[in-house]
Structure 1
Amino acid sequence: MESSGAGTTSAARAAEVLLEFGRRSSALGVSEIARTTGMSKAVVHRILTTFVECGLLLYEPATRRYLLGPAAATLGARALDVSPLRRVAREALIELQRATGETATVSGRLPGGRVYLDQVESTKEIKMTVELGRRFELHSGSSGRVILAHLSDDEQEDLLSRPLARLTENTMVDPESLRTALRDARERGVCRSTGERQEGAGSIAAPVFGADGAVIGAVSVCGPGYRMTEDACERHEEALVAAARRVSRALGYRGQDAAAVNIVAAERV
């Protein structure tokens, strides 16, 4: 009989393997997963076989690789449907899109990353759209970095100690530069990004907090870089902060974010 400790370890390993598919956009092989997770190929193969049997993964004999299956898609769709953050953010996103004319999004925090939960697209012919349900790293893009900025120092340093992927020429991967950017984002309560995660795109984001005061996501405004200029981002900032604050309040947060403090202070000058 398997002990509870061994059962927990097995479950953790299975979860780690499945989560690898959320971090990648392509099919994965046994060797690749084993190398990334540090597990043996035998363990990885056994886990993958189980997931194929229950429909969470599909196996491609021609390439000997695995990809997410229909059961995983069902779980993902259901997770979006029942997400409290997505539900309470919907009206705020609609108002934010109307106020700015650009696409408004909400992201949820994941361990070491984030995922887009919803978007209200711009009505303009040329616009930005995001991929819902795909995991993104925290060091690139305004939504990720504003979440990272509000994590603990230990959590920040853990991420900064790892290799950081350069997605575009503008992706910030130098740890010291990131530390400076994180301090600025935390003080201002908003974060701006220009072509860091996607070429030609620009965005500005503000954090969303839960009832316990911990950051749980971000609301952003995104569009083509030529429209998301510094002046445009400054114009959008008040509406963005108001939307993020509205979502945080709906989730039970009763504190005051840095951007709200800055806006109040500016109004008193």
Structure 2
Amino acid sequence: MTKQSAAPRRGADSVGTEVAGRVADVLLLFAGGPRYLGVSAISRELGISKAVVHRILRSLVSREMLETDPGTQGYRLGPAAVALGVSALRGFDVRSAAAPVLRRLRDETGETAALSGLVGDQRVYLDQFESPQEIKMTVEVGRRFPLHAGSSGRVILAFLPPERREAVLAGPLAALTGGTLTDRAVLRERLAETAREGVAVSLGERQADAASVAAPLFGPDGEVHGSISVCGPRYRFTPEAVERYRALVKDAAEEVRHNRAWLRESAPSSA
């Protein structure tokens, strides 16, 4: 009797896990993709039926995780999802540790200073201090980007453990601009160079008219957790400016790494 009653429960658990996974996949599409998505696009991207997608969307809308937009006949993130995102960002202790450093980096360079965090095999902007200049670059906090495109991602990728780095390189390497590095042999050479120099430079790799310089951000555990960068219009990133920014972002990342607030919050509990 015990064995017979256990089997249905395992089956139910499996189905529940699959459903939860699909719901999470739908939400992640909104986090890393277009602002608006329709049933057909979600179905095509995830390889699940439109009927299943529609049921998931209805459930998420009822909980205000998503909301409909009559003008586009699509869906977008709702107020509950935004509240979760804000709560999650508030929990990143590194943001508090990095804030004064980013502000000073912005003032020293006159360009936007940004903090990126490693999330899975991608990165996400966690914070920024915008340039005071009229023509400037701003970043989309909370949006995910691939690690191979741009200095902020490449400098993280260069310092990942070899097996994890190779797993990323084995996956798709989308060309976001004509300057995005997608040739794996060339990318490996650039990653090796980045690891030697401790800094990465991007000139139009993620956005055609933008440039950036980034340094890896290591945590108290010695692992790479993200990056610190300055970014702005490409025409202002002259060789002289880039050389100056190299030293500034490296110093900024090192300062954040040794910030006592981050060290204290990241320390394991003795309880």
TM-score, length basis structure 1? 0.86
Match of 1:252 among 263, 268, 271: 263
Task: Name the SS of the counterpart of 1:106 in structure 2.
Answer: strand
Deviation, structure 1 residue 62? 6.3
Paired residue total: 253
Matched residue, 2:269: none
1:3-28: CA deviation from partner (whole Å, max 9, x where unpaired): 44443333222211110111112322
Task: Name the SS of the counterpart of 1:15 in structure 2.
Answer: helix
Deviation, structure 1 residue 209? 1.5
Q: What RMSD, in angstroms, separates the aligned Cα atoms of the two structures?
A: 2.0
Matched residue, 1:20: 29
TM-score, length basis structure 2? 0.85
Equivalent runs, 1:114-129 vs 2, <5 Å: 114-129=123-138
Is 1:243–2:259 an aligned residue pair? no
* Alignment check: 8 A CA contact 1:85 1:108 kept: no
Q: For 1:149 and 1:42, locate their aligned partners in 2 and report how far apart those are by CA, in whole Å.
A: 42
* Alignment check: 8 A CA contact 2:36 2:72 kept: no
Is 1:84–2:93 an aligned residue pair? yes
Structure 1 231/57 Cα, relative in aligned 2: closer, same or farther at 3 Å?
same
Is 1:70–2:79 an aligned residue pair? yes
Matched residue, 2:231: 222
Q: For 2:168 and 2:102, locate their aligned partners in 1 and report how far apart those are by CA, in whole Å.
A: 29
1:125-157: CA deviation from partner (whole Å, max 9, x where unpaired): 322211112111111111011111111222222
Equivalent runs, 1:189-204 vs 2, <5 Å: 189-204=198-213
Matched residue, 1:163: 172
Matched residue, 1:145: 154
Structure 1 62/170 Cα, relative in aligned 2: closer, same or farther at 3 Å?
same
* Alignment check: 8 A CA contact 2:123 2:226 kept: yes
Q: For 1:204 and 1:80, locate their aligned partners in 2 and report how far apart those are by CA, in whole Å.
A: 23
Q: Which amino acid aligns with 1:119?
A: Q
Match of 1:34 among 15, 35, 43: 43
* Alignment check: 8 A CA contact 1:194 1:201 kept: yes
Tell me the percent identity: 49
Q: Which amino acid aligns with 1:104?
A: A
Q: Which runs of 4+ in 1 moved over 6 A?
A: none
Matched residue, 2:196: 187
Unaligned stretches of 5+ in structure 2? 1-8, 265-271
